[in-house]
């Protein structure tokens, strides 16, 4: 394909993409194909000779499109949104054009410097403490990773090395005694999360070969992690001779969008850390992958007050902030935590700028070496929508969850609101004679709503008594009040079937 052929093909593709977004409201949210549908439709091996691009384009519509689940559909109310926008899509095109690995400043100075600037913009817009900006008092700053799971694994690596270094700081550097104590400690390390913490924390602990422990959360606390219950878990672990070194707290849990009690957690850890030898402290990460975007609304920024006591924070613009996947913003209070744990400088990565330490090399802030020009699309989105436009988008998602909650409360004979609308998520259950009956009926309605085809929802099971609830996330950009009314009508119809 030469430049002229590229121009023709790309323009046609853009038209098709625009048509797709304009008509996604008319598509069922979930693909209806069966497992293995695609292999019989494609040749058994790659073509020996080039094929015309028109044939490839045709296969997108005929073979690929039937197997796509439409995350942009207003009927997609599962998980959390994976949003997009035209400015972000255009930025992706430029990013692809400027293709490179971009691991050092010299690899593309604009890639590094734009990332620093845009993440400072984002930190300010979210109301994060100044310690998370590049010019802050603690030499922190932001970096773009691919996903929140990658972010958690990365900061857990930093937490591990920081904790072990503090605990062994009294021993002579390079001594056999220090080496032995380092490996003894590694075998005792425990990463913590609540029962509502995303599974990525447990997975990161599994990857690093450290233990994982769960702090119980309770319905009466709104399924939020509290300092009191964290204290009990810390006490139990230390009594066993274990070393809690890391904690994921959450702003907007996956199950029910619970917000952990950051103030009491900070107080509990301050007391715990004061008893630790040689200044070792539990590293605290705030996972705000989805709901963190709502911090752009001034009424929620009080939630960041305790973050000065924590070590890192993560939000995914690719969830709610109209920025195409992947784009996960990670902020640290001290960049040294990442650099000390992750920096390796072989000769082929050295250059006069990196050696002078006048520039940021983001390869030292992440696990991979190479990196994409992700900041470009976040820059496009922030400029094209403005803070006011993004705030309006978040407010719409929040308002629609509140609308759904209000409608659910008009039929207490059929449904109960399990957790009230928060950050665009509401959960519900169907009424029943007892907990087993409620779980059974709720599961039946959940399956019936998804089978109907207009909407795709996900469920959750929470609490010690394993309560089954239906989740409805209302943050998709294409959603309207009419979709909320239709969903409510389907809930009523299906609930009447199982209740009467």
Find out whether 163 and 188 touch, Cβ atoms under 8 Å.
Answer: no
DSSP state of 478: T
Q: Which CATH class is domain 1-30+69-82+386-499?
A: alpha beta
Find out whether 470 and 427 touch, Cβ atoms under 8 Å.
Answer: yes
| DSSP per-residue letters across 192-205 | EEETTS-HHHHHHH
The residue ranges of every structural domain in the chain are 1-30+69-82+386-499, 35-66, 103-371
71 confidence band (pLDDT: 50, 70, 90): very high
126 confidence band (pLDDT: 50, 70, 90): very high
| Strands 328-332 and 141-145, sheet pairing | antiparallel
Q: Which two tokens stand for residue 218?
A: 């309770």
Q: Using CB atoms within 10 A of its CB, is residue 309 exposed (0-12), middle (13-18) or buried (19+)?
A: middle
pLDDT recorded at residue 463 = 87
18 confidence band (pLDDT: 50, 70, 90): very high
Task: Assess whether pLDDT exceeds 80 at residue 347.
Answer: no
Mean pLDDT computed over every residue of the chain: 94
Q: Which two tokens stand for residue 51?
A: 């094929």
Query: SS3 for 214?
Result: strand
Question: Does the structural domain 103-371 have CATH classification 3.40.640.10?
Answer: yes
Q: What tens digit of pLDDT does each residue of 315-344 get?
A: 999 999 999 999 999 999 999 999 999 988
- Cβ contacts of residue 101 below 8 Å, gap of 6+? 107, 369, 370, 371
Calpha distance 341→337 (Å, rounded): 7
Q: What tens digit of pLDDT does each residue of 165-187 get?
A: 999 999 999 899 999 999 999 99
Strand ranges, E, within 195-354: 211-215, 243-250, 283-287, 312-315, 328-332
| DSSP per-residue letters across 262-290 | HHHHHHHHHHHHHTSGGG---EEEEE-TT
Find out whether 333 and 56 touch, Cβ atoms under 8 Å.
Answer: no
């Amino acid at each position: 394909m030469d430049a002229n052929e590229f121009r023709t093909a790309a323009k046609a593709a853009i038209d098709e993409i625009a048509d797709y977004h304009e008509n996604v409201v008319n598509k069922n949210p979930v693909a209806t194909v069966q497992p293995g549908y695609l292999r019989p439709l494609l040749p058994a091996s790659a073509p020996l000779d080039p094929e015309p691009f028109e044939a490839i384009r045709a296969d997108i519509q005929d073979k690929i499109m039937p197997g796509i689940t439409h995350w942009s559909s207003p009927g997609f109310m599962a998980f959390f949104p994976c949003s997009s926008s035209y400015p972000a899509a255009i930025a992706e095109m430029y990013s692809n054009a400027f293709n490179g690995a971009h691991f050092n400043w010299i690899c593309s100075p604009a890639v590094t410097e734009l990332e620093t600037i845009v993440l400072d913009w984002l930190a300010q817009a979210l109301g994060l403490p100044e310690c998370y900006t590049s010019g802050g008092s603690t030499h922190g700053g932001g970096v773009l990773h691919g996903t929140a799971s990658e972010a958690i694994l990365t900061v857990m690596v930093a937490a591990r090395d920081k904790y072990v270094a503090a605990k062994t700081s009294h021993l002579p550097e390079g001594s056999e005694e220090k080496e032995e104590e380092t490996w003894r400690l590694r075998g005792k390390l425990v990463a913590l999360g609540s029962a509502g913490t995303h599974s990525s924390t447990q997975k990161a602990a599994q990857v690093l070969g450290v233990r994982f422990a769960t702090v119980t959360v309770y319905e009466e606390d709104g399924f939020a992690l509290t300092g009191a219950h964290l204290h009990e878990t810390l006490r139990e672990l230390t009594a066993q001779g274990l070393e809690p070194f890391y904690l994921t707290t959450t702003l907007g849990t996956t199950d029910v969008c619970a917000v952990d009690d950051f103030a009491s957690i900070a107080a509990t850890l301050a007391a715990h850390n004061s008893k630790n030898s040689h200044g070792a402290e539990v590293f605290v990460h705030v996972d705000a992958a989805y709901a963190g975007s709502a911090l752009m609304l001034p009424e929620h920024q009080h939630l960041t007050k305790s973050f000065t006591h924590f070590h890192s924070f993560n939000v995914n613009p690719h969830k709610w902030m109209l920025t195409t996947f992947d784009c996960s913003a990670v902020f640290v209070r001290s960049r040294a935590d990442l650099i000390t744990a992750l920096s390796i400088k072989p000769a082929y990565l050295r250059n006069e700028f990196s050696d002078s330490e006048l520039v940021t090399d983001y390869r030292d802030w992440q696990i991979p070496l190479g990196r994409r020009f992700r900041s470009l699309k976040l820059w496009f989105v922030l400029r094209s929508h403005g803070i006011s436009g993004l705030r309006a988008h978040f407010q719409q998602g929040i308002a629609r969850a509140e609308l759904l909650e209000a409608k659910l409360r008009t039929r207490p004979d059929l449904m109960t609101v399990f957790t009230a609308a928060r950050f665009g998520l509401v959960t519900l259950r169907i009424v029943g004679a007892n907990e087993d009956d409620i779980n059974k009926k709720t599961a039946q309605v959940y399956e019936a709503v998804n089978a109907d085809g207009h909407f795709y929802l996900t469920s959750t099971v929470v609490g010690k008594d394993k309560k089954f609830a239906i989740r409805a996330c209302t943050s998709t950009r294409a959603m309207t009040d009419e979709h909320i009314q239709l969903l409510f009508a389907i809930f009523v119809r299906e609930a009447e079937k199982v209740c009467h």
